[in-house]
């Protein structure tokens, strides 16, 4: 077991075909890409990494709701509700 971190994955689903999947875990895999910034460890599996290269992850605490915001340069389109994307 390692330190607790955020696992970010891309899975099939949603109107546009791909969705983000976030989980809190202490299970680090040997093939994971790991980024640590501002005291937060983010783990990405090898298959998801190709969809997430260059992505910036932020947290919004605004009037329109709270949640993670993805700025993914690989996403070519997003669905109307904003929960899925296509590359």
CB 10 within 8 A of CB 51: yes
Architecture of the 5-86 domain: Sandwich (2.60)
Q: How do the domains of the chain map onto residue ranges?
A: 5-86
Q: What is the pLDDT along the chain (87 residues), one digit of tens a residue?
A: 568 999 999 999 888 889 999 999 999 999 999 999 889 999 999 999 999 999 999 988 888 778 888 999 999 888 777 678 889
pTM: predicted TM-score of the whole model, two decimal places: 0.84
* Distance separating alpha carbons of residues 21 and 23, to the nearest angstrom: 7
* Distance separating alpha carbons of residues 1 and 29, to the nearest angstrom: 10
């Amino acid at each position: 077991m390692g330190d607790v971190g955020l696992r970010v994955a891309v899975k099939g689903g949603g109107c546009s075909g791909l969705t983000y999947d976030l989980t809190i875990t202490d299970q680090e895999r040997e093939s994971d890409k790991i980024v640590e910034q501002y005291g937060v460890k983010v783990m990405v599996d090898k298959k998801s990494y190709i969809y997430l290269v260059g992505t910036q992850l932020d947290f919004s605490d605004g009037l329109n709701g709270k949640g993670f915001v993805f700025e993914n340069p690989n996403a070519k389109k997003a669905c109307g509700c904003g929960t899925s994307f296509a590359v």
